[in-house]
Amino acid sequence: MTYRFALKRLALAATLAFGPALAFAQADKPVKIGVTTAIQLQIGRDTRDGAQLAIDEINAKGGVLGRKLSMVVADETEDPEKGISAIKKLTGDEKVDVLVGGYTSGVVLAQVPHIAASKTIYLNVGAASPAINAKVKQDYETNKYIFRVGPINSLHLARSQVGYMTGFLKGELGLKKIAVVGESAKWVQDLLPVLKKGATEGGLEVVMAETFDTGTTNFSPLLSKIKNSGAEYLLVILSHASSDVFAKQWYDARIPVPYGGIDVKSQDADFFQRVGGKSIGEVATNFIVRAPLSPRTIPFLDAFKQHYNREPVYTGNGAYDAVYTYAEAVTRAKSFDTNAVIKELEKTDMPVTVGRLQFDENHDVKAGPGLVNVLFAQWQEGGKRVIVWPKELRTGSYILPPWLK
């Protein structure tokens, strides 16, 4: 017997002896969900807690392919460099199986090359720039790991705002003149041209369109300009700027122009109380409120409230949906192999908390009737939120701010 042949015999014997034990050890190893988010914000806390809720529910049913799920969190703050460090920690040090998270588009865009290099599936639940998922079509083999479960991208958001302006503000309220203001950020730059064009083509006059620095704390000059513009309605685009300060200063100055639009921090369940009720009358774009958007909506909201004693913002349900989306893709693939799971993710067609989830060729969430849609929910007396648009999902009547009645 040659030395080489003897080594082969020994290797085969070792495989036969230890193979089942190794397979058992692998099956017993938890599946690591890496959550990367701005944990100091409710956006981030809800991402973490939504993911944990899904993990707990799935584990209670036996896990995925016989393996339990676990979670590791990295704080990306709102800084690109820290965002990159969070990805490296999760994929390099922690060796997670899948990534869930995202909030700031600039941070996620900085993270994408590092996600792609790690060859780890990434399910975005917070950043809206279409530039993120455009990279999938531009270079599929490199960026095929990138998916957006939510929110719908900023171009879809823009179209929904146009529908709100033309269908509701003009069509139902009879308004003709609007002002559009937003923070200086990448995702707003994507939105503004579409908003202005859509509003004008829909028969509205855009009397003012401006951006401002995200660090602004004195909105008095801007509010005075809006007041003098002749606008009948103010459409805002806010995410990183202080929605709290804006609402308080708008209310205290009794600006005779109602406002609404995309105001991310005003989606917080405690926003009305946080600003002392001064957001009354504001209409905030939302993705999930207590309404039968799908069979999963109310059960999720009830479970989240029971576990955490608060209502989630959109990243909470997004992370919850992302974990389930990954788990179901793995189940269909009958494997944790990344390429096999990607192929199944691409075929996703399932109910989620905000509608029905399907991905387009960019691995971006599809929007539209029967899929995922935008809700326009108004803050009313006592912190109640009422859906005023779209009409088919309306849960109450629109009100004006108290000083305009």
281 and 299 housed in the same domain: no
- The answer to whether residue 300 is domain-embedded is yes
- Is 317 within the bounds of a domain? yes
**pLDDT > 50? residue 141:** yes
Q: Are residues 208 and 224 in the same domain?
A: yes
Residue-number span of the structural domain to which 395 is assigned:
155-286+374-404
Any idea what the CATH number is for the domain that residue 101 is in?
3.40.50.2300
> How much is the pLDDT for 23?
42
Render pLDDT for 280-321 as a digit per residue (tens, 0 to 9). 999 999 988 888 889 999 999 999 999 999 989 899 999 999
Per-residue pLDDT reduced to its tens digit, 212-262: 998 999 999 999 999 999 999 999 998 877 899 999 999 999 999 999 999
Confidence label for 173 from pLDDT (cuts 50, 70 and 90)? very high
Residue type, 230: G
98-115 average pLDDT score: 96
**pLDDT number for residue 338:** 98
pLDDT at 346: 98
For residues 148 and 161, state if they share a domain. no
Same domain, 215 and 297: no
Return the closest-CA partner of residue 47 out of 126, 152, 121. 126
pLDDT higher than 90, residue 193:
no
Which phi and psi angles does 44 have, rounded to 5°? -75, -40
For tokens 């690591």, the residue is 32
Give the per-residue pLDDT at 185.
82
Task: Evaluate whether residue 135 is within a structural domain.
Answer: yes
Residue 366 located in a structural domain: no
| Residue 143: Cβ-neighbour burial (10 angstroms; 0-12, 13-18, 19+) | buried
* 367, part of any domain: no
- On whether both 90 and 193 belong to a single domain, the answer is no
pLDDT higher than threshold 60 for residue 264: yes
Section 186-196 average pLDDT:
82
For the record, the structure tokens of 203 come out as 């028969």
In a domain, 98, yes or no: yes
**Which pLDDT score, from 0 to 100, does residue 24 have?**
44
Of 269 and 201, the structure prediction assigns the larger pLDDT to 201
Residue 21 lies in a domain: no
Question: What confidence category does residue 7 fall into, taking pLDDT thresholds of 50, 70 and 90?
Answer: very low
Q: Domain count for the chain, please give it.
A: 2
Closest CA relative to residue 315, chosen from 288, 340, 335 = 288
Per-residue pLDDT, averaged over 124-145, amounts to 96
Q: How far is CA 102 from CA 45, 148, 238, 239, 279, in A?
A: 12, 10, 17, 14, 27
Mean pLDDT of 350-373: 95
In this predicted structure, which of 21-25, 140-144, 250-254 has the lowest mean pLDDT?
21-25
- Please check the confidence at residue 4 and state whether its pLDDT lies above 70: no
Q: What is the spatial distance between Cα 316 and Cα 341, in angstroms, rounded to a whole number? A: 23
Same domain membership, residue 47 and residue 82:
yes
Q: What is the mean pLDDT of the segment spanning 105-121?
A: 97
How high is the pLDDT of residue 27? Answer: 61
Question: What average pLDDT score do residues 324-351 get?
Answer: 98
Q: Do 214 and 309 fall into the same domain?
A: no
Residue 10, domain member (yes or no): no
Confidence of residue 18 (pLDDT cuts 50, 70, 90): low
- What pLDDT, on the 0 to 100 scale, is given for residue 22? 42
Judge contact between 347 and 363, C-beta under 8 A.
Answer: no
Q: Considering Cα of 305, then 307, then 309, then 311, what sign does the dihedral take?
A: negative
Cα–Cα distance, 405 to 388 (Å, whole number)? 18
The overall average pLDDT reported for the chain is 92
| Confidence tier at 157 by pLDDT (50, 70, 90) | confident
- The pLDDT assigned to 51 comes to 98
One domain, residues 167 and 271: yes
Confidence of residue 191 (pLDDT cuts 50, 70, 90): confident
Give 57-94 pLDDT, tens digit per residue.
999 999 999 999 999 999 999 999 999 999 999 999 99
- 145 and 74 both lie in a single domain: yes
> Do residues 112 and 35 both lie within one domain?
yes
Query: In the predicted model, what is the mean pLDDT of residues 381-390?
Result: 93
Neighbours of 208 (CB within 10 A): 17
Do 178 and 215 have their domain in common?
yes
Considering only residues 190 and 321, tell me which one the structure prediction assigns the higher pLDDT. 321
Place of tokens 């939504």: 50
For residues 57 and 199, state if they share a domain: no
